Amino acid sequence: MRQLNFRKPFITIFHNNTFSAIICLLLFSLYLNNISAQSKPSMVEGVAVEIGSISPGDTDFSDLMALKNIIGDTRIVLLGEQSHGGGSTYSAKVRLIKFLHQEMGFEVMAFESGMYDCAKIWQNMVDGKKMKDEVLNSMFYMYATSTEVKPLFNYMDDQMQGSKPLLFCGMDSQHTGEKSKQYLVADLKTFLDKNGSEIQNQESWKVFERKVADIIGMNRAVTDEDKADFYIVVNNLKSELSTLKSNEATFLNNSGFWKEIIHSLESQAKRYWGDIEDMDRDRQMASNMSWLLNNTHKDKKVIIWAHNFHIARGLDPILPMGHFLKKEFGDQMYAIGFTGYDGEFINFVNDKKVSIAKPSKSSIEQSIKKTGWPYAMIDFRHLAENSALKQKQKGRLFNFNQHSFVLPEVFDGLFYIETTTPTVRE
C-alpha cells in the first residue's frame, strides 16, 4: 500500500486557519474602535448650535433665533475675529449685525478704529454723506477696503433713511486716519475757542500741534524739549476739559469726548516714545468705549467690532480691552470670539495669503468639526457644572496660533467657521 503524506496538507490548513483568524481579529478590532469613536461624544455636544449661513444677503434669520436665548437681554455684544484678514469672518459678522439690529434691537455699531475719525465719519453721515465713501482712508484700511465689509456700509447707509438708523462710533485710542490728519486739531481749536480757552494761544501749543501731526502720521521721532512741551499742553487740556460740562449729544461739541481724545493722543505718544508699554492702547480703548456707553450712547444696545484679542479677558497678566469692560459691565456684555478649522486669511501687514494648518486632535476646533456643521455657535455662559469646556482646552483664537485656555474665562461664546476664506481688497 502506498504511504500517504499528510505533512503538506496539514501545513496548508494550519496557515489558512491562522490567516483567517488574524483577519477576523483585525476586523473585530476595527469594529470596536469605530463603535468607540461613534459613542464618544464631542465636548461641544448639547451646547453647539448649527448656523445655516454666513452670507450677509441671507435675511432668513431662523438659524440665528437661538441667539436670542443665548444673548438674552445683554446690552453689549462684542464680535471678534482671529485676524484682520478673514473675509468669511467679516461676512458672518455683517449678517450677525443685521440680525442684532433687526431682531434684537441693537442700536449702535462701534468699530476698532480711531475714536475721532469715526466721530467725524458719523457727523458727515448725519449731514447726508455716504458711509461707504467716508470710511476710505479714515477707518482702519483692513475694514474700509474689504469687499466683505462693504455690505455693512451699504446697510448702514440704507438705515439712515429709516426710523431706526444704526448709529456709528469708534473706540480705538490710536489715530492714523485722514480725517484725524486734516481736521482733529482744527476741530479741537474750534471747541476751545467756543469755550473761552487760552491754551491754544500758548507758545507750547505750536509744538503740541506739530507733534500731534507726527503721532497721527506714525512718526515716532521726538526730542526731550518737544516731549516736555507736548505733555504741558496735554496736562493743561485734561485739567481744563474736566471743568466743562459733558452733556452735548454731538461728539465734537462734547468736552468729555475731547478729554478721551486727548487721553488717546497721550497714550499713543507715550507708546511711540517708549514711555509706556504697548498694551496701554487697550486700556485707553476700554476707557473710550466706557465713555461712549455711559454718555452719548447711554442706555443704548451696542455692538462692538474688534479683534479677538481686544475683546478677550482672562489672559493675565495681559489685560486687553475686554478685561476692563468686563470689570465694569459684567454680564451686561457678551463677547463672541471667532475660530475656524482650515482655510486661508490675509496677513494685513504685507497683504499676503497665509494658509491655516489643521488644528491638533485635542483642540476645540476638532471637537466642533465632529458635528459636521460648517458653521456653529458655542455658548459658554450656560454650561453644565461638569462640562469639559470648563477645563483648559487648546484653541487657535489669536491669528490661528494654538494656545491653551479656559474658554469661558476668555469669551462668552465662540463662532465657528470651518473653512476661512481670505478677505478681498478693493
Q: For strand 108-114 and strand 76-79, is the pairing parallel, antiparallel, or unpaired?
A: unpaired
Per the domain annotation, does 234 fall within a domain? no
| Residue at grid coordinates 466683505 | 148
Mean pLDDT of the chain: 91
Residue 66 and residue 159 in one domain = yes
Contact 366, 354 (CB under 8 A): no
Backbone angles phi, psi at 63, to 5 degrees: -75, -15
Residues 6+ apart with CB under 8 A from 326: 313, 333, 335
Per the domain annotation, does 200 fall within a domain? no
Residue 28 and residue 61 in one domain = no
Cα 212 off chain centre by? 28
The answer on pLDDT for 6 being more than 60 is: no
Residues 6+ apart with CB under 8 A from 152: 56, 93, 94, 97, 109
3-state percent helix, strand, coil for the chain, nearest multiple of 5? 50, 15, 35
The answer on pLDDT for 154 being more than 50 is: yes
Confidence of residue 42 (pLDDT cuts 50, 70, 90): confident
- The count of domains in the chain is 2
Residue-wise pLDDT for 347-395, tens only, equals 988 999 999 999 999 999 999 999 999 999 999 999 999 999 999 999 9
Residue-wise pLDDT for 285-330, tens only, equals 999 999 999 999 999 999 999 999 999 999 999 999 999 999 999 9
Per the domain annotation, does 194 fall within a domain? no
How would you classify residue 399: left for phi > 0, otherwise alpha for psi between -120 and 50, otherwise beta? left
Per the domain annotation, does 165 fall within a domain? yes
Max distance between CA atoms of the chain, in angstroms, equals 134
Residue 19 and residue 127 in one domain = no
Residue 33 belongs to domain spanning: 1-40
**pLDDT value of residue 248:** 79
Per the domain annotation, does 220 fall within a domain? no
Contact 420, 75 (CB under 8 A): no
Among the ranges given (39-53, 244-258, 267-281), the one the predictor scored with the smallest mean pLDDT: 39-53
Per the domain annotation, does 409 fall within a domain? yes
Other beta carbons within 10 angstroms of residue 402's beta carbon come to 14
Query: 31 vs 25, 181, 243, CA distance in Å?
Result: 10, 68, 77
Distance from C-alpha of 322 to C-alpha of 270, rounded to nearest angstrom: 22
Residues 6+ apart with CB under 8 A from 13: none
Contact 107, 293 (CB under 8 A): no
Residue-wise pLDDT for 218-240, tens only, equals 999 999 999 999 999 999 999 99
Percent of the chain with pLDDT over 90: 87
Amino acid at 303: I
Confidence of residue 247 (pLDDT cuts 50, 70, 90): confident
Per the domain annotation, does 242 fall within a domain? no
What's the CATH code of the domain at 290?
Answer: 3.40.1660.10
**pLDDT value of residue 22:** 46
Residue 34 and residue 168 in one domain = no
The answer on pLDDT for 43 being more than 90 is: no
Q: Calculate the dihedral angle through the C-alpha atoms of 386, 388, 389, 392, rounding to the nearest 10 degrees.
A: 120
Residue-wise pLDDT for 159-192, tens only, equals 999 999 999 999 999 999 999 999 999 999 999 9
Residue 33 and residue 114 in one domain = no
The answer on pLDDT for 210 being more than 80 is: yes
Query: 95 vs 72, 108, 221, 373, 417, CA distance in Å?
Result: 18, 15, 43, 18, 14
Residue 124 and residue 28 in one domain = no
Residue 287 and residue 401 in one domain = yes
Contact 78, 304 (CB under 8 A): yes
Residue 288 and residue 390 in one domain = yes
Residue 165 and residue 299 in one domain = yes
Residue 14 and residue 162 in one domain = no
Per the domain annotation, does 26 fall within a domain? yes
Contact 175, 114 (CB under 8 A): yes
Residue 285 and residue 162 in one domain = yes
Distance from C-alpha of 71 to C-alpha of 153, rounded to nearest angstrom: 25
Task: Estimate the crossing angle of helix 204-216 against helix 224-241, to 10 degrees.
Answer: 100
**pLDDT value of residue 17:** 53
Contact 130, 157 (CB under 8 A): yes
Residue 337 and residue 377 in one domain = yes
